[in-house]
Structure 1
Amino acid sequence: MTPAPFAERLTERTLQLQTRLCLGLDPRPELYPQREALREHTLALLEACVPLVACVKPQLAFYEALGLWGMQLLEELCDAARALELPIILDAKRGDIGSTAQAYAQAWLSGAHAGAALTVNPFLGFETLDPFVETAQANGGAVFVLVQTSNPGQADLQGGGISERVAEEVARRGAVSTGLSAVGAVVGATHPDALAGWRARMPRAPLLLPGLGAQGARPDALAGAFLPDGTGAVVSASRGVQYAQGVSVEAGVQAARTFRDQLNAALTAR
């Protein structure tokens, strides 16, 4: 049975728990004495943060770097998140042509270690989005298309109207939706002055805002990304929660609670 659409589940969780925080889980093996400690901390933090977050976002690169064991950990993490009814955004930034794009879509939007949603790269052309969007919709999922990323060098290729052109395509694909679309966008929380503009350009797109915490984005500057009812966007913090004070579940939970409360306060104040 196909689950309820990802955007619908994300909105429901946002309103029920009053949280706009996305928990990034990017395990760094050099911070742990052994692999089992990494596994236990990652899974324990996930479970402890469930009441505080709208979704979880594993960054695939960190699991790939751990080899086969890392992929097994990713599958275990996704199983745990699904059991906890926590939506999963898999941050893989995949993008390719033809059958290769279809294979990526099948792997990361319908497999045992897959997310309910996937970040995708549109820079090989908009037709390369089709397999991802179609697979996501068939599985009640979503895609988040890179529009303006959080890194300082993004302007090298995303300036000059290119991000705006991608946003137009995201909006076009979402225009058929009555609520939030299955086609969302990644817009960096590190560009706060641009967020209201992206929200206006993509009125039906769920927005994923990376960059809270270690990358320097401030919760009080992000209200422009949200719809009037406080939904429509989630803000991701990874290192700022998972390694808030070294390797401590308690410190991570406190950091997540603080970020959640700061985001809510920003919306109340707007």
Structure 2
Amino acid sequence: MTFAARLTERTLRLNTRLCVGLDPRADAYADFAALRAHTLAVLDATHAYAACMKPQLAFFEALGLPGLQLLEEVCAAARALDLPIILDAKRGDIGSTAEAYARAWLSGGHAGDALTVNPFLGFGTLLPFVTAARANGGAVFVLVKTSNPDQADVQGGGVSERVADEVARLSAPEAEALSSVGAVVGATHPQELAAFRARMPKAVLLLPGLGAQGGRAEDLAAAFLPGGVGAVVNASRGVQYAAGVDVDAAVEAARGFRDALNAVV
């Protein structure tokens, strides 16, 4: 199945719209062994409440080679749980460099099922990622309207809308109900969700910012398609570090976010 089909199937089967983010922060642990054990424990304990999981590559890269080895371990564990993986790398570049990034993160044993990509070097730079995603049954999530407050410095003035229209254009030739080209739209912009949903009717929406960044489940109904599909909402710190490194607290947080999102749809 395609990424979008797998995500939809899992959403409906487990009745969850939550994406669990994994951001292993070195300063939260005594050593790397503790970081590794906790990260894998959170993944295992919360997967039943997750439609997908999203490792933030920056935190793994910051750990050097052990971090990249842990990323492979995390992805292998997620695959064993049949849990779709969105790698949050926000990659974007030109020509052969974009092709290399696409090979690195959308194919092979260490790759995710989907990748966040940055369109701000020009729309042509998206094509190597889209091509690789389609060839591997995966997906890309194009940054349209990110969750941070200062996104308007670059994404305001109609720029986000232009990117959304390009996402829709790339999605149009695909026969499937949901495209391999998705979009990142922050959960911190609830007043704009209906407009972006209308502009990108076939895109899976990834909504970061639930919890720690101020996004609220009750504000996000407009992101979903009929049947409560077509979008996932990410919580990272609010799950993994809901109460320090308490795994039971992470489970309770994931369950709470899942239930709050289900109440909305």
Compute the TM-score of the two structures, normalised by the length of structure 1: 0.97
- Match of 2:197, SS state, is helix
Superposed CA deviations along residues 73-101 of structure 1, whole A, max 9, x for unmatched, are 00000010011100000000000000000
Q: Distance in 1 between matches of 2:111 and 2:214?
A: 29
Q: Which of the residues 205, 210, 213 maps onto 1:215?
A: 213
Q: Distance in 2 between matches of 1:123 and 1:107?
A: 20
- Match of 1:236, SS state, is strand
- Aligned partner of 2:158 in structure 1 is 161
Q: Distance in 2 between matches of 1:187 and 1:163?
A: 9
Q: Which amino acid aligns with 1:47?
A: D
Deviation at 1:111, TM superposition (A): 2.6
Q: Distance in 1 between matches of 2:115 and 2:28?
A: 27
Superposed CA deviations along residues 111-162 of structure 1, whole A, max 9, x for unmatched, are 3221100000001111101100000111110000000000000000101111
Q: Distance in 2 between matches of 1:240 and 1:50?
A: 15
Q: Distance in 1 between matches of 2:201 and 2:145?
A: 16
Superposed CA deviations along residues 166-196 of structure 1, whole A, max 9, x for unmatched, are 0000001111223100000000000001111
Q: Distance in 1 between matches of 2:111 and 2:61?
A: 13
- Match of 1:197, SS state, is helix
Superposed CA deviations along residues 176-217 of structure 1, whole A, max 9, x for unmatched, are 223100000000000001111111100000000000011010
Number of aligned pairs?
Answer: 264
Q: Distance in 2 between matches of 1:151 and 1:33?
A: 30
Sequence identity (%): 73
Deviation at 1:52, TM superposition (A): 0.4
Q: Which amino acid aligns with 2:185?
A: V
Q: Distance in 2 between matches of 1:205 and 1:173?
A: 10
- Structure 2 unaligned segments of length 5 or more: list them: none
- Match of 1:230, SS state, is coil
Q: Which amino acid aligns with 2:210?
A: L
- Aligned partner of 1:234 in structure 2 is 232
- Aligned partner of 1:192 in structure 2 is 190
Q: Distance in 2 between matches of 1:111 and 1:159?
A: 36
- Match of 2:170, SS state, is helix
Query: Does residue 1:86 correspond to 2:83, yes or no?
Result: yes
Q: Which amino acid aligns with 1:232?
A: G
Query: Does residue 1:74 correspond to 2:68, yes or no?
Result: no
- Match of 1:184, SS state, is strand
- Aligned partner of 1:120 in structure 2 is 117
- Match of 1:66, SS state, is coil
Counterparts of 1:26-45 in structure 2 under 5 Å? 26-45=23-42
- Match of 2:243, SS state, is coil
Q: Distance in 2 between matches of 1:19 and 1:193?
A: 23
The 4+ residue runs of structure 1 with deviation greater than 6 A are none
- Match of 2:193, SS state, is helix
Q: Which of the residues 40, 43, 47 maps onto 2:44?
A: 47
Q: Distance in 2 between matches of 1:115 and 1:224?
A: 27
Q: Distance in 2 between matches of 1:215 and 1:91?
A: 17
Compute the TM-score of the two structures, normalised by the length of structure 2: 0.99
Deviation at 1:45, TM superposition (A): 0.8
